[in-house]
Amino acid sequence: MKKFKEFQTNRVYLSETYKLKAGVGNAFTTYAWSTVSANVFRGLNSANFKLSGSIDSYDAYGNPLTETSEAGIQSTYTWGYNNSLLASSALNAGTFEHKTSYIHKPLVGITQVTDPNTIVSKYSYDNFNRLKIERDHDDQIMSRYRYHYQNQSEGFSNTVISKSGCPVSGQSVILSSYENLEFGQTTYIWNLGDGNSQSTTNSSTNYIYAQPGTYSVKLTKQNPEYTLQELQTSINIYRPVSGAIASVTGPTTYDICPLAPPTQSTTLTANFTNGINQPGDVFNVVWEYRFNGGAWNQISFLAGPLSSTSVSSPVGFGDPTITGTWDVRCVGQDACGNTFTASYTLTNYASNPLCSQR
């Protein structure tokens, strides 16, 4: 049986619980329904019932603060985390109290319990807020829990080595293969393909290749909790670029007055170098021209990689019926995304102004 009481205005909480004494013969009669009144629980004080416990006080949030057991031992409670979670409980509060304290991770669960002998138990949770590990006061694992779907295997799941950064000799590249394992420490052993290797405890490594080329990268993932995994990929390291050198074979100007075509064709060449006359590698190479400052028009596109490229002069240069200036440019990007440009100017002119009036 339970008895309730108004501890705060318009708030009724459980105050006492009673149990029927064993061995007491009670005759029960079927009663008709009646209106509940203040005298309904008067019979609880009879010799047939015994007080089994009481809650003596509550805080403003409805949390019990003190409780008395059947044996007359009082328990005291404190509440934390905005009065939403139990912070401690104490038997016989005072000098000789037996106190247990609790630390929580809100919305997840208890993370630490300290018993009256100051022995600490710890609890950790997985990424889905499920209980994962229970540890004792020496931080030793007492229990461990794993969760998976039926027929689902545990272990490494990422079978790809990702590459980012700047794949140019002398620049840093980033190799990674992310894992999110719940147990153990994973070691990543990288064989970088140039005779060097690295061992890391995180899922990525930064590395600088000294020479351009194609390298075979091997990765071994080791974790004492799981079967090891071996992955392999290749990475292209390209030659660096520091500038673009423009060169022209043939004339860059044409006099329309003689009415004769150029005696030699004109070829425009762009060489992308690393600054010491060594070729570099560029991508997405675009040749463009514009006439008399107008809009740019594409001549050609080359995906690359390449270090040198050439085109013929644009249509109209060397035509005796046209006067004007052609701006030509060749734009390429290195493997890091930096842009380099070679520029040219070609002109049809009239040495005699009367020529242009023909």
Please write the tens of the pLDDT for every residue from 229-244: 999 999 999 999 999 9
Q: Do 258 and 191 lie in a common domain? A: no
Q: How far apart are CA 131 and CA 82, in angstroms?
A: 23
Residue 247 and residue 352 in one domain: yes
pLDDT tens string 52-104: 888 888 888 889 989 998 888 899 999 999 999 999 999 988 778 899 999 99
Closest CA to 280 of 240, 243, 313: 240
Q: Indicate whether 154 belongs to any domain.
A: no
> What CATH number is attached to the domain comprising 227?
2.60.40.10
Is 96 part of any domain? yes
| Cα–Cα distance, 302 to 4 (Å, whole number) | 86
d(CA 141, CA 87): 24
Does 233 reside within a domain? yes
Helix (H) or strand (E) holding 298: strand 297-302
Query: Are both 248 and 353 inside the same structural domain?
Result: yes
What integer best gives the mean pLDDT of the chain? 88
Q: Would 328 be classed as within a structural domain?
A: yes
Same domain, 266 and 340: yes
Q: Which residues of 115-129 are buried (b: 16+ CB within 10 A; e: fewer)?
A: eeeeebebbbbeeee
What confidence category does residue 183 fall into, taking pLDDT thresholds of 50, 70 and 90?
confident
* Residue 210 is assigned to a structural domain of this protein: yes
Instruction: Write down the pLDDT at residue 96.
Output: 81
Q: Is residue 214 a part of any domain in this protein?
A: yes
Same domain, 183 and 116: no
Which tens digit of pLDDT belongs to each residue from 256-274? 888 777 778 999 999 999 9
Query: Is residue 15 domain-shared with residue 62, that is, in the same domain?
Result: yes
3-state helix, strand, coil in the chain (%, to 5): 5, 50, 45
pLDDT at 25: 56
Model-level pTM greater than 0.75?
no
Residues 174 and 140 grouped into a single domain: no
- Structural domain that includes position 282: 243-357
Strands 243-249 and 253-255 turn out to be unpaired
Spatial CB neighbours of 275, under 8 Å, sequence gap ≥ 6: 242, 243
- Residues 199 and 178 occupy one common structural domain: yes
Residues in the chain, overall count? 358
User: Which of 45, 72, 99 is the C-terminal boundary of a domain?
Assistant: 72
Lowest mean pLDDT among 105-114, 140-149, 232-241, 306-315: 140-149
Same-domain pairing of 228 and 249: no
pLDDT attached to residue 299: 96
Which residue among 72, 89, 113 closes a domain? Answer: 72
In a domain, 161, yes or no: no
Residue 155, in any domain of the structure: no
Assess whether 47 and 127 both reside in one domain.
no
Domain co-membership, 123 together with 181:
no
Asked if residue 348 and residue 248 are part of one domain, the reply reads: yes
End-to-end Cα distance, the chain: 120
User: Could you give the number of structural domains in the chain?
Assistant: 4
* Residue that terminates a domain, selected from 203, 237, 271: 237
CATH number at residue 269: 2.60.40.3880
The pLDDT assigned to 44 comes to 52
